[in-house]
Chains A and B, each alone.
Chain A
Amino acid sequence: MQSIPDNSAVSLAASPSMVTVSIRDLHLSYGKLEVIKGVSLDIRRGEVVCIIGPSGSGKSTLIRCINGLTPFQSGSITVGDQQVGDAKLDKIRLRRKVGIVFQQYNLFPHKTALQNVMMAPLKVLKEPRAEVERRARELLAKVRLAGKEDSFPGELSGGQQQRVAIARSLAMRPEIMLFDEVTAALDPETVQEVLLTIRELAEDGMTCVLVTHEMAFAREVADHVYFTDGGKIVEHGPPEEIFGSPQDERTQRFLSRLL
Chain B
Amino acid sequence: MKSFARSGVLGLVCAFIAAPAYAADVSTGPCGFCVLWDWIPFILNGFALNVVISILAMMLALVLGIGLGLMQISESKLASVPARFVTQLLRNAPWIVILFMIMSLIPYRIEVQGWGNFILSDWIKATFAFSLPVMANVSEILRGAVASVPKGQWESAESLAFSRGQSLRWIILPQCVKQMIPHLMNWFALLVLATPLASIIGVREAVGSAQAAMESAGSSPTLLIPFYFFLMMIFFIFIYPVAIWSRRLERNYAINS
- Residue numbers of A with Cβ under 8 A of B are 67, 69, 91-92, 95-96, 99-100, 102, 104, 106-110, 119-120, 123-125, 152, 165, 168-169, 172
Contacts and interface: CB of A to CB of B under 8 A. Distances in A.
B159 A67 contact: yes
Nearest to B153: A106
B161 A91 contact: yes
A106 B156 contact: yes
Contacts of A110: 174-175, 257
Given A109-B257, A123-B170, A124-B166, A95 B153 contact: no
B26 to A, nearest CB: 61
Contact of A96 (B150, B161, B163): B161
Shortest 3 CB-CB distances between A and B: which pairs?
A106-B152, A106-B156, A95-B161
Q: Which of A67, A102, A123, A125 is most buried by chain B, counting CB atoms within 10 A of its CB?
A: A123
A252 to B, nearest CB: 35
B153 A92 contact: no
Residue from B153, B156, B159, B166 having most chain A Cβ neighbours under 10 A: B159
Interface in B96-137: none
Contacts of B166: 123-124
B257 A172 contact: no
Interface string B152-188: 1101111111110010001100110000000000000
Nearest to B172: A108
A69 B161 contact: no
Nearest to B152: A106
A124 B152 contact: no
Contacts of B257: 109-110, 152
A208 to B, nearest CB: 16
A152 B255 CA distance: 10
A91 B162 CA distance: 10
A119 B157 CA distance: 10
A22 B175 CA distance: 38
A168 B160 contact: yes
Contact of B155 (A92, A102, A169): A102
A108 B153 contact: yes
Contacts of A119: 160, 170-171
Contacts of A169: 159-160
A137 B170 CA distance: 21
A107 B163 CA distance: 17
B156 A102 contact: yes
A132 to B, nearest CB: 13
Given A108-B171, A109-B175, A109-B257, A99 B159 contact: yes
Nearest to A97: B161
Given A91-B161, A108-B157, A119-B171, 19 more contacts: A67-B159, A92-B161, A92-B163, A95-B160, A99-B159, A100-B159, A106-B156, A108-B171, A109-B175, A119-B160, A120-B160, A120-B162, A123-B162, A124-B161, A124-B162, A124-B166, A125-B161, A152-B257, A168-B160
